[in-house]
Structure 1
Amino acid sequence: MKLSVVIPVMNEEENIEPLFKAVREALKGIDYELIMVDDGSTDKTVEKMRELADERTKIIVFNRNFGQTTAMAAGIDAARGDLIATLDGDLQNDPADIPMMIEKLEKEGWDLVAGRRAKRQDGMFLRKIPSKIANWIIRRSTGVYLHDYGCTLKVFKKDVAKNLGLYGELHRFIPVLAKMYGARITEVDVRHHPRIHGQSKYGIGRTFRVISDLLLMLFMQKYRTKPMHLFGTLGVPMLGIGVLIDFYLFIVKITGHDIGQRPLLTLGVLLTLGGIQLITTGFIAELIMRTYFESQNKKPYTIKAIYAGKHAQNSQTGS
């Protein structure tokens, strides 16, 4: 099978029929499957999907709401296509852009083609401006230079999609996860339509979740396989400064001066304890990291190809 289209939905009953129609029109002539993942809908979304499903359709229904990232991960796990496309179920993404993205991926040798909403049909102050700020921060801090991290419309090679490791709410950081895997990434302008039916699941409150997820991404990028480099780099100087302060105050004390009321004493104790805690946390993180890789027979690297012998063939594997 050439293509699996993964669409997470929640309470989109009015969008299901036009969505199915749009996907079928856009993908005529392509061997594809449509994987719909219902993320705990409380309306008639599931009934609508079951009514309209054909032989190409697979419907996965969660027993409660787990979030878009989990729904996307479940769809990717179930996908059988050599390529996997993801898009939102609210009809703001246009399935008609998928063939163009597939052509770009195949002709130019990319591993992931991400959509960029060239004329975004959302509110300026609650959606566009916060999104632009978030995209700029993510680009600058991660070094993955895409313009639109929030666009769900993407096309991946199967090995990239299935090795993303999607948890929590990390769907916004799929390009960063793909880059960590070693994927070659590009972006193209795609269409974006105003929402006609239903209500948006996003709000300004997600900003704080994006910031916390960004901190996790930065840690994963730089210190996932060497956490002691982070905690030790912070903890050793703190411990050293704390010990020096404590030693100085000890000398002051034995020379007959009172140190009980000095703020420097509090600072020295806090730096000493904080340094010990950070170093200890580094040791524990190192043990957890090693357990993570070794218990699941994972490797902290990705092999793109192995060549052996005169008539060697490429072989690929994921970490």
Structure 2
Amino acid sequence: MAQPEISVVVTIFNEEGNIPPLLKAIYASLSSIDYELILVDDGSTDRSVEKMKALANERTRILVFNKNYGQTTALAAGIDHSNGQFIVTMDGDLQNDPSDIPMMLEMAKKEDWDVVAGRRANRQDGFVLRKLPSKIANWLIRTTTKVYLSDYGCSLRIYKAQIAQNMGLYGELHRFIPVLARQEGARMTEVDVKHHPRIHGTSKYGLSRTFKVIADLILMLFFQKYFQRPIHIFGTLGLLSLALGVLVNFYLLVVKLMGEDIWGRPILLVGSILVLGGIQLITTGIVAEIIVRTYFESQNKKTYSVKATHQGGQEAN
């Protein structure tokens, strides 16, 4: 089977009302492109799977999970089963518009972008529950990760296949996909895309995700700065804690030698905690370094990524 130009990965969870217009829009928008469509059903409990089976064409594959694993896992499964030169991701709620895909594909090919991300220029969502939390999250992610995209919440994106397939999607990291792509050295840009109000079904997002986003952001910052060198953060903090503990205990020793009673002083407890905490942090850093080396060496992974090689006037990717 020849490699298609693009693989379109759509995540579905209880979207039975959106399936018919969604597939109709995708088929019409991609009629002039060599594509494959991968629909990933994330454990729907309605008739979404039946609708997909009834309307799927010969270019469509359906992956059906046995339970709900979450959007990140659904995206990872779709990407793993993709064969295209480029991979497009989008939600199945019809708020993304498939008619934007040809324009984004042309931009990726002509300007050699690794990632073209959609930006919802006229977002059709409620302000208090959707837009405001999203604006705060976007600002926080941009500021801390230094990956300057305007709209991290827009799932309509197009990637070169080698970028998408090496990102390593786990947990609930779909909002941080641009950060993961940048860690792979991706060149990315944004483009305005259409956005529609939800007509069928209910949104799967809300304010309850705020703390999860913050927790995932902490994880992303660790991955971004210290994934290959965890001893630099654990060792630095451990040495600082150990040094402070030694200073506190030295002060207490001097006080003791001067004849004062140090038993029961809160500072004695502080000094002990700092010393023990410092030792524990340094030990954690060493263990983390061993785990990182096991991660890379056991799977023959490299700590670098080569974009292209040149020899004798010829280029090999």
Superposition TM-score, scaled by structure 1 size:
0.97
- SS of aligned partner of 1:59: strand
**Structure 1: distance between partners of 2:262 and 2:18:** 71
Shift, 1:311, TM fit: 4.8
C-alpha deviations, 1:81-139, integer Å up to 9, x for none?
Answer: 11110000000000000001011111111010000000111110111011101101110
**Structure 1: distance between partners of 2:172 and 2:70:** 7
Query: Structure 2: where are the runs of 5+ without partners?
Result: none
Matches of residues 129-140 of structure 1 in structure 2 within 5 Å?
Answer: 129-140=132-143
C-alpha deviations, 1:23-77, integer Å up to 9, x for none?
Answer: 0111111111110000011111111111111101100001111100000000000
**Structure 2: distance between partners of 1:311 and 1:108:** 22
Q: Which amino acid aligns with 2:85?
A: D
- SS of aligned partner of 1:186: strand
Shift, 1:10, TM fit: 0.6
Shift, 1:251, TM fit: 2.6
Matches of residues 56-205 of structure 1 in structure 2 within 5 Å?
Answer: 56-205=59-208
Shift, 1:170, TM fit: 0.7
Match of 1:210 in 2: 213
Match of 2:314 in 1: 312
- SS of aligned partner of 1:36: strand
**Structure 1: distance between partners of 2:152 and 2:166:** 19
- SS of aligned partner of 2:36: strand
Shift, 1:225, TM fit: 0.5
Q: Which amino acid aligns with 1:91?
A: L
Superposition TM-score, scaled by structure 2 size:
0.97
Please, which moves more after superposition, 282-291 or 251-260?
A: 251-260
1:45 matches 2:48: yes
- SS of aligned partner of 1:55: coil
Across the aligned residues of Structure 1 and Structure 2, the Cα RMSD in angstroms comes to 0.9
**Structure 1: distance between partners of 2:85 and 2:111:** 16
1:11 matches 2:9: no
Shift, 1:290, TM fit: 0.4
Q: Which amino acid aligns with 2:253?
A: F
**Structure 2: distance between partners of 1:219 and 1:138:** 13
- SS of aligned partner of 2:17: helix
**Structure 1: distance between partners of 2:102 and 2:308:** 28
**Structure 2: distance between partners of 1:312 and 1:257:** 79
**Structure 2: distance between partners of 1:263 and 1:79:** 60
Match of 1:36 in 2: 39
C-alpha deviations, 1:133-180, integer Å up to 9, x for none?
Answer: 110111011110000000000001111111111101111011111111
Query: Structure 1: where are the runs of 5+ without partners?
Result: none
Match of 2:225 in 1: 222
Shift, 1:261, TM fit: 2.4
**Structure 1: distance between partners of 2:108 and 2:130:** 29
Matches of residues 228-267 of structure 1 in structure 2 within 5 Å?
Answer: 228-267=231-270
Number of residue equivalences: 314
**Structure 2: distance between partners of 1:69 and 1:105:** 23
Shift, 1:14, TM fit: 0.7
Q: Which amino acid aligns with 2:69?
A: F
Please, which moves more after superposition, 113-122 or 270-279?
A: 270-279
Q: Which amino acid aligns with 1:296?
A: Q
